[in-house]
Structure 1
Amino acid sequence: MSKGRGMQLPTRLTTRLGAAGLLPFAMTLTMAWVAPSDWQAWAVSAFLFYSAVILSFLGGVQWGVAMSLDAPEDAAFAARMLRSMLPSLIAWPALLLSDLAATVILLAGYLLIHAYESQPVSRARLPGWYRSLRRSLTLCVVGGHGLMILRLVMG
């Protein structure tokens, strides 16, 4: 694989790590639907806490990009650093709300970070393999949040 920023396929390692990162979403989502009722509330909480952690992690990716690729005196550095904090500032307060509101807000956070990573200024700083992997993972995570919303609405 080339070392440039063009479109590259995720490596076997990054694909496996990404898939492993989906397991807690899948397990807790499944439990929220099919586990005994005593466990369902726990599963919803576990899903939301994990979601908040992962959304915050995605902000950390942007922090790392700014530190390694942007010059601190450039406006792009300050803008990326500020944007890197937004996922955490969305995720943590979401956990203080009702389960349904938290799920909707976290879902919106994933869509916002994906929208930011899709902009030309961000695409230029992210490796092609990362963008490809993030697109797939975001689709799965957003779908999982949609299913959790459906579960919460159905009661």
Structure 2
Amino acid sequence: MLDARIPRSALILGLAGLLPFAWGVATLWFPQLALQTVALIGPRFIGPYVGLFYGAVILSFMSGVLWGFATKAEGQVAATGYALSVLPALWVFFTTGGGDQAAAIALMAGFVGLLGLDWLFWNQGLAPAWWMKLRLILTAGVVACLLPVAL
């Protein structure tokens, strides 16, 4: 069902969600942009800080999305879905310390792992038919933006 059309609003909001990741990379590559950003809104919104913090928030948020999918199931499938849904948030909690590079690698691994969980929920019919198409696009964008921090 990867041919299902992504609703326009979901696609636009999903792509907009990549902006903080892209902004972090832009401020890494363009020091003048970083300086202007620090002057306007502070140092939390430049370089690796914005991408890593936002990545931790989004990966944790995705636990809630998966939990919502689990509510569509019953019995053991629901119980397994609830248990699996907390993994992204726990991953963030236990793996994102240790500096920028280690956190970026952990987040990239977390988002790739999330893609596997997305597939499980989608394959069980708990996620919308278009879900994997959107998640592939967004995961590629997130990983591409975290990669410069990981290197």
Range class of TM-score, shorter chain: 0.7 to 0.9
Q: 2:135 matched to 1:134?
A: yes
Aligned residue for 2:17?
A: 21
Aligned residue for 2:50?
A: 46
**CA apart distance, 1:78:** 1.4
Aligned residue for 1:8?
A: 4
CA distance in 2, matches of 1:14, 1:44: 26
Q: 2:73 aligns with which of 70, 74, 84?
A: 70
Contact kept, 8 Å, 1:25 with 1:144, in 2: the verdict is yes
Q: How does 1:75-154 map to 2 (within 5 A)?
A: 75-119=76-120, 122-123=122-123, 124-150=125-151
Contact kept, 8 Å, 2:96 with 2:107, in 1: the verdict is no
**CA apart distance, 1:50:** 0.1
CA distance in 2, matches of 1:136, 1:129: 11
Contact kept, 8 Å, 1:110 with 1:142, in 2: the verdict is yes
Which deviates further from its counterpart, 5-14 or 23-32? 5-14
Aligned residue for 2:63?
A: 59
Q: TM-score, normalised by structure 2?
A: 0.83
Contact kept, 8 Å, 1:52 with 1:91, in 2: the verdict is yes
CA distance in 2, matches of 1:44, 1:6: 33
Instruction: State how many pairs are aligned.
Output: 142
Counterpart AA for 1:59: S
Q: Could you report, residue by residue, the CA deviation over 1:125-153 in whole angstroms, capped at 9, with x for unpaired residues?
A: 21122221111111111111222222xxx
Contact kept, 8 Å, 2:25 with 2:47, in 1: the verdict is yes
1:128 counterpart SS class? coil
Change (3 A) 1:6 1:134: closer
**CA apart distance, 1:7:** 4.0
Contact kept, 8 Å, 1:49 with 1:95, in 2: the verdict is no
Contact kept, 8 Å, 2:51 with 2:146, in 1: the verdict is no
CA distance in 2, matches of 1:32, 1:92: 25
State the 4+ residue runs in structure 1 displaced beyond 3 angstroms. 36-42
Residue identity (%): 32
